[in-house]
Structure 1
Amino acid sequence: MALKRPTGDALAGTVADATGHAFRDQRLLETALTHSSAVKAASNNERLEFLGDRVLGLVVAEMLFRLFPDAREGEIAPRFNALVDARTCSEIGVEMGLEGLVRADAALKARSRGSGGNYLADAVEALIAAVYLDGGLDAARSFVLRYWEPRSSLVVAKPRNPKSELQEWIARISDARPQYTIEGREGPDHEPVFTVSVTVAGFMPSFGSGGSRRAAEESAATAFLRREGVWTEEGNPA
């Protein structure tokens, strides 16, 4: 049986332990932890997410500027992009234990359990904004640095682009071009799942799924490259 979600002072205390900030305005905190999918919610965290994304970007850019004084823009930009990526925010949401604190559709939470999900990334950004509004930039900076600074020293490589690599590989062996087709779309509007096929003349089609058309296309291209032995399972050249 799932533990009951804390509210009021209990929620504020749990969040204070995780963020280092004690909220004065508990209604602001509740809004930050309410996803748009939550049933019968009077408000949700979409506006706070918008603000939190900008606060996060400022603090992370400032942090990288300070930590890597000799790095060129081209060196720190990929690191910045990786640190503010939704996947990083989602991982931090799991680390903070937000899965049990966010109000969201039960089916949405069940699908993402243990692996984060966009709703957790949204909540992390909204929580950053809430800390900023409740305690100011110094409070928000302290919260962000607690979780993002330890990650800043990780080696960040530019992500491989499976669609580009598939097109380049095909171009070396034929005149064909990869064709992507949406095969299906499931799930609610706030958490869709697309299924896409990629076909190339002379090859069997490959399929992939993702939370956006682009993600599904990249998944299908990755499956194609792995099947044909161009990539290993880790995504490296064979």
Structure 2
Amino acid sequence: MKLTGNTILITGATSGIGLGLARRLHTAGNKIIIAGRRKALLDEIASDHPGIDAIELDVGEPSSIARAAETLKVTHPGLNVLINNAGIMYEESLLDPADVRLAEDHVTVNLLGTIRMTYAFLPQLVGESDGTVINVTSSLAFVPYPATPTYSATKAALHSFSDSLRIQVAASGMQVIEVVPPAVRTDLMNQTDSAYAMPLDEYLTEVMSLLETKPDADEIIVARAEAIRHAFTRGDYKEMLSSFSTM
């Protein structure tokens, strides 16, 4: 992926990794469109960062995705990069029947949201130079956190989806990149002050460096995520899963 001169749509971009990437990529010389559900917050961010545009978008609602796709065809016809970052993460008890609603919400937002966004925007991206889809998954796609079973499962599914998407669009010259964060200090799961989580600015700096130095990479994996990403091939998957179960 080239790091400048793009028009980039980022979902879930009102906080955390999404907002951080928006700021970094805007500073690098890209046109940024942030997307999220909270209009007041979107307007505030756009006002504080001249040159960043905003659009209301709920990836859990197919009609909202369709409206955004039609709007951006007109307002930003040069859109060439989609970053699927929106997601939710909650603890679940599989022994509590009521928590099936949480499971369903994870699938709707994390998995179906990304799949629907890809279907909706791919026709526009395929026709653009340097077309790119970036799917933000998680190191938990490779070793699940038992307290968040459906979250972990949706991220594993997105890893698989990204691999298939990469093959299907290869002939068009498009790039598909999977960004694999470890735990990062964001509002997700109230990890802002977590000792286990990586500081957000440190994470963003390493991601931007990897994007610059490895422009053809299929996966962007910071050092802190490497051990989890490769646990199975290294042979310590069961030990790592066991350690996660006690966290």
**Normalised by the shorter chain, which TM-score bucket?**
under 0.3
Q: Structure 2 length as normaliser, TM-score?
A: 0.26
- The structure that is strand-richer by fraction is 2
TM-score (norm 1): 0.27
